[in-house]
Every structure is written in C-alpha cells, then in structure tokens.
C-alpha cells in the first residue's frame, strides 16, 4: 500500500471514529436530559375544575387573575410557619392575588377521616373564626389565632374575640352552639375529595402547589398573569 493510500485510510478511520464519538456523545446527552426531566423536574399538578373557592372568606380583589385557595388548620404548626410566606406573597403581589381560606382541621371532633387525634382544639378554633366572620373580623381573628397558637380554650377563644371588639354575646352564643359546623364539614369534604391529607395545602388557579416556598408561589402567580 502506498503512503498516500495509507494516509487516506487512516483519515477515513479517524473520521469514522470521530463520527462514532459524536453519536455516542449525543446519545449520552439525550439520556441525561431524559433523566433530568424524569427525576429532577417537578411534574405539573392536574388542574382542579371543581369550585375551589366556595363561599369562604377571602382577601384581595375579586377580579385578581391569580387565586390562592388555602386549606388550613389554626392549630397546625406548619400552617403557622407558612403564614409569613403567605403574607409576603400578598404584600408583594397586592391587587394581582386573591387568597381564599378554607377550613381543614385535623381534629376528630369534626373530621371523620382521621384515624387518631392530632389537633384537639382545631375544630373549635375553626368554629370561632367563622363566628368572627359573622361580624366582619375573620382576618383579624385569623391572625390572632395563629399568633396565639397553641393557647386555645373556650375561654381564650372568647377573650380573643372580645379583645378585637366583637360583640361578645353574639360571638359566645355562636361558638357555644357550633353554628358553623356544617360549613366546616363542607370544607373538609371538599378537601378530602381533592386528595388533601395534610395542612396547609395551597392551590393557585386550580393547581396544587407541591411546595410552599415563596418562589413556588411566585412562579405559579406569574404564570397566571
């Protein structure tokens, strides 16, 4: 074989090797991309088409493009821990967001799905907040409950209402009669039908948040604009 033929043959072998290496590299890159999306990216939660808002208390404009629905428990430590993030979201997005609060007390006193008692005063606290709502003070009472958690008792719940200037006779009668128990059970039934098992659980425009970080709220809200 002449020297020229040898050079051409070596070049052909090198080109074939380079092509094979490029092909293998592309396959490896494709495999890495697939693995990333399968194991590291967050799946998009399904869209809930049911009426998430119901007739529960809300804060923010009715015409807001982003609607956050929170299923929560006033005696839940994780719900209290989430409050600063929720307040920051409301402050930062102001008229672009509406927050709806729905009751999901983890208390066997009103939640029949529980197998063991978790928060034994959560139902009473939810009843008290609904009684405060009758007098237009739901959100003020909501804040007090999370601030004073876990100092709940019949006496304390009534004192918190009096401290906020609510009419004590009306509030006390409302609380003692468990007047809004059916409303709380409606929230519990709706939450259970959506697969909620713990609190707090948030939906933004019908999609459940997988995490409760500020960035997760921000991304969900901005995608709704």
Residue 29 structure tokens: 């890159």
- Pick the range with the lowest mean pLDDT from 41-45, 144-148, 165-169, 199-203: 41-45
pLDDT at 224 over 80: no
Split at pLDDT 50, 70, 90, the class of 98 is: very high
The mean of the pLDDT values for the chain is 86
Which of the four CATH numbers 3.40.50.970, 3.40.50.720, 1.20.1250.20, 3.40.30.10 does domain 58-223 have? 3.40.30.10
Distance CA 42, CA 52 (A): 23
Q: What is the mean pLDDT of residues 98-116?
A: 96
Q: What is the mean pLDDT of residues 33-55?
A: 57
Q: What is the mean pLDDT of residues 187-200?
A: 94
pLDDT at 140 over 90: yes
pLDDT at 42 over 70: no
Residue 26 structure tokens: 């592309």
Domain positions in the chain: 1-41, 58-223
Contact 161, 132 (CB under 8 A): yes
Q: What is the mean pLDDT of residues 105-127?
A: 96
Strands 207-208 and 58-59: what pairing?
unpaired
Of 142, 145, 175, nearest in space to 158 by CA:
175
pLDDT of residue 52: 86
Contact 124, 152 (CB under 8 A): yes
pLDDT at 183 over 60: yes
């Amino acid at each position: 074989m002449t020297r020229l033929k040898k050079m051409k043959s070596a070049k052909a072998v090198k080109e074939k090797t380079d092509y094979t290496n490029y092909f293998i590299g592309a396959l490896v890159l494709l495999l890495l991309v697939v693995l990333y999306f399968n194991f590291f990216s967050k799946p998009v939660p399904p869209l809930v088409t049911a009426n998430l808002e119901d007739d529960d208390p809300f804060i923010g404009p009715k015409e807001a493009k982003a609607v956050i629905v929170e299923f929560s428990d006033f005696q839940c430590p994780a719900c209290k821990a989430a409050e600063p993030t929720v307040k920051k979201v409301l402050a930062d997005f102001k008229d672009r967001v509406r927050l709806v609060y729905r009751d999901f007390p983890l208390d066997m006193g009103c939640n029949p799905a529980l197998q063991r008692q978790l928060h034994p005063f959560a139902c009473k606290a939810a009843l008290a907040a609904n009684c405060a709502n009758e007098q237009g003070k739901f959100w003020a009472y909501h804040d007090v409950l999370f601030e004073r958690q876990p100092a709940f008792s019949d006496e304390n719940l009534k004192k918190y209402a009096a401290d906020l200037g609510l009419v004590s006779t009306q509030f006390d009668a409302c609380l003692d009669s468990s007047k809004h128990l059916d409303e709380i059970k409606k929230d519990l039934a709706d939450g259970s039908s959506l697969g909620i098992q713990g609190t707090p659980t948030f939906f933004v425009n019908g999609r459940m948040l997988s995490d409760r970080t500020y960035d997760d709220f921000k991304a969900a809200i901005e995608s709704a604009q």
